[in-house]
Amino acid sequence: MVQKTDPGNFFEDFEPGARLVHAVPRTITEGDCSLYVGLTGDRFPLHCSAEYARSLGYRRETVNDLLVFHMVFGKTVNDVSLNAVANLGYAGLRFLAPVYPGDTVRSVSEVMGKKENRSGQNGVVWVRTTGDNQRGERVLEFYRWVMVNKRDPQTPTGAADAPAMPSEVAVGDLVVPAGLTLERYESWPSGGRAFFEDYEKGERIDHVDGMTIEESEHAIATRLYQNTAKVHFDGHGAKDTRFGRRLMYGGHVISVARALTFNGLSNALGILAFNGGTHSNPTFAGDTIFAYSEVLDRAALPGRSDVGALRLRLVAVKNLDPTREELSLKVEKDGRQSYHSNVVLDLDYWLLMPSKG
């Protein structure tokens, strides 16, 4: 008899080299984009003003980079992280082409490796995911690793093939959207005063504002992304976990933190890549998110004098305002350095920023 329902993959089910073709392609609509704004507070004009986008050479307003990421990511959950304990991190993520309302994205993943944890209860699985549009054009690619429960905790698997992950995305591998032109660029739509040359290596930018995320908001957001991970929805089952409640999807934390960066990075023209990222502590409904950025580097882009790339470290903090309270990113715990319990995100990424010229 054909099995009608899908319990999702457990740690034992993953085989390095396996190709996972994910179901449910998604046409991203104007409604999706508007709902994303309502759930995150995003204000970058490229994603909400068709006229501004056309002045930069785009066909119309583009889908927010992170909404594209969530839609591609969300397809993978049923096969990769339905039985996850937590999503742990990202590497080598590149945005490769703009996505417009009306485009359809689909996802495919390859299992790169897995390693059982000492507890025997679960293990870490690494995958590489690609997202394509309806024309077969690659719009996104990334690595991620996730802690997945075992089906049989009593039986060791011996899995210990953790793969090496890329430490960064090289400047030469960053993709500036084709057709982008700043011949008609104006800064008034964003209200921004700072350009590529105004950001100094080593500078810290406090993004000032905080945002409290409610239970309904993070649940609606995760449903919007069609992320089906049990830890985000099943409050009854979550009572038996070590947290005793539902976890917020870490990607949504990235979106809220990124939206907060508008105050300080408002002229930004989009995310080019993630070098690496860590969800350092869990986030729950009712938590208030604050964010700050550190400028790690500035880089000229080959063949472009009108835009440059800023390498930033985006840190999101819960329930602590870093402009008013002292915060050490890491603290000593059990003889080793660990993230402060209020730090929920540490993201190293490349941002596209217009030059003054």
Same fold, 1-154 and 192-213+248-357: yes
Please state the domain extents for the chain.
Answer: 1-154, 192-213+248-357
pTM to 2 decimal places: 0.95
DSSP collapsed to 3 states, the chain = CCCCCCCCCCHHHCCCCCEEECCCCEECCHHHHHHHHHHHCCCCHHHCCHHHHHHCCCCCCCCCHHHHHHHHHHHHHHHHCCCEEEEEEEEEEEECCCCCCCCEEEEEEEEEEEEECCCCCEEEEEEEEEEECCCCCEEEEEEEEEEEECCCCCCCCCCECCCCCCCCCCHHHCCCCCCCCCCCCCCCCCCCCCCHHHCCCCCEEEEEEEEECCHHHHHHHHHHCCCCCHHHCCHHHHCCCCCCCCCCCHHHHHHHHHHHCHHHHCCCCEEEEEEEEECCCCCCCCCEEEEEEEEEEEEECCCCCCEEEEEEEEEEEECCCCCCCCCCCEEEECCEEEECCCEEEEEEEEEEEECCC
Query: Is domain 192-213+248-357 in CATH 3.10.129.10, yes or no?
Result: yes
pLDDT at res. 195? 97
pLDDT at res. 213? 96
CATH number for domain 1-154, candidates 3.40.47.10, 3.40.50.10310, 3.10.129.10, 3.30.1310.10 = 3.10.129.10
pLDDT at res. 298? 97
pLDDT at res. 171? 97
pLDDT at res. 50? 97
Per-residue pLDDT of the chain (357 residues; tens, 9 = 90+): 888 898 889 999 999 999 999 999 999 999 999 999 999 999 999 999 999 999 999 999 999 999 999 999 999 999 999 888 888 889 999 999 999 999 999 999 999 999 999 999 999 999 999 999 999 999 999 999 999 999 999 999 999 999 999 999 999 999 999 899 999 999 999 999 999 999 999 999 999 999 999 999 999 999 999 998 888 988 998 898 889 999 999 999 999 999 999 999 999 999 999 999 999 999 999 999 999 999 999 999 999 999 999 999 999 999 999 999 988 998 888 888 999 999 999 999 999 999 997
